[in-house]
Structure 1
């Protein structure tokens, strides 16, 4: 039965041979699935559409005028079912309901502003003397305590405090425009 033509299998299926229809489904199902997937743009509904197409084909086998043209007939059915799904989807899909708007902090203008502010901060940091920059980075980005900075850089604790105070004062002045 696997070697039989589509026309022969279609005639047998029309006469109620379930096995003949099963062979046709296995033969043409993969092509129908790919076709439906391409039309729908997603694999989520593809299996349902192909299954509906086969159910329609089974019920309407008596309407098939040319059994030899079974593949084209099946493809027309799956195409119509896919288009029906797209119409239903278009009527009911609302982008706002599917995905909430991004928070205001992630709006493009805010993102650009934040990036510009970070760039300005790095530019200001580059202007600091090396010791002040090292102390500030360890404190503000790594979260080191004054004692840990003192130990890491081999500086007296009072020097670390002074370096950080001067760095903060300088950065406040440099970043004034960003307040």
Structure 2
């Protein structure tokens, strides 16, 4: 079975136009947005949830929420970051639900395969140390690092979102990584 033909012209439209059309009920325009940003959202959700199935659920929930609330988006040019924020929240919600479900299983006598308190403490300390190091970075470096390492954005996408040059992004990332490597030396 071949997929139905789609309007190739929509793929060339900017996000603002696609958002306006999707807000007016154009499902083909929304489909273009979903295809355009779906892989990025999936990668981001996989990093947050650690599971392809949970990542797929997070992206699906994100797209449903986005379709229902697209009219609330005032500036269609920020649809990418808006979708990524929704995806991040949905991913975290899924992780929380999974944790609550695991706690209920433990109470019901299902074997617990979670890390030991010792390994959880060590991992938590490492994350706390990273969080402190990130917080100490200058805001420009921290923004670039988070968008690249957690959001999975390319240098060009980061430059576009922050309205700076790709070279500035590269420099800020290099300085952020050097600082973080130095700060996290004890955790290697």
TM band (smaller chain): 0.5 to 0.7
Structure 1 pair 5–51 and aligned structure 2 pair: CA distance change class (3 A): same
Normalising by structure 2, report the TM-score. Answer: 0.50
Matching residue of 1:20: 29
Tell me how many residue pairs correspond in the alignment: 100
Q: 1:33 aligns with which of 42, 45, 59?
A: 42
- Superposed, 1:50-65 pairs within 5 Å as 50-65=59-74
TM-score (norm. length: structure 1): 0.53
| Distance of 2:68 and 2:43 partners within structure 1 | 23
CA-based RMSD: 1.6
Per-residue deviation, 1:99: 5.3
Unaligned ranges ≥5, structure 1 = 101-179
Unaligned runs of 5+ in 2: 1-9, 114-188
- In 2, the alpha carbon distance for the partners of 1:8 and 1:38 equals 30
- Structure with higher Rg: it is 1
Higher mean Cα deviation, 55-64 or 86-95? 86-95
Residue deviations 1:126-157, cap 9 Å, x none? xxxxxxxxxxxxxxxxxxxxxxxxxxxxxxxx
Distance apart, 1:86 and its partner CA: 1.2
Deviation at 1:44, TM superposition (A): 2.2
After superposition, where does 1:28-107 map in structure 2 within 5 Å? Answer: 28-94=37-103, 97-98=110-111
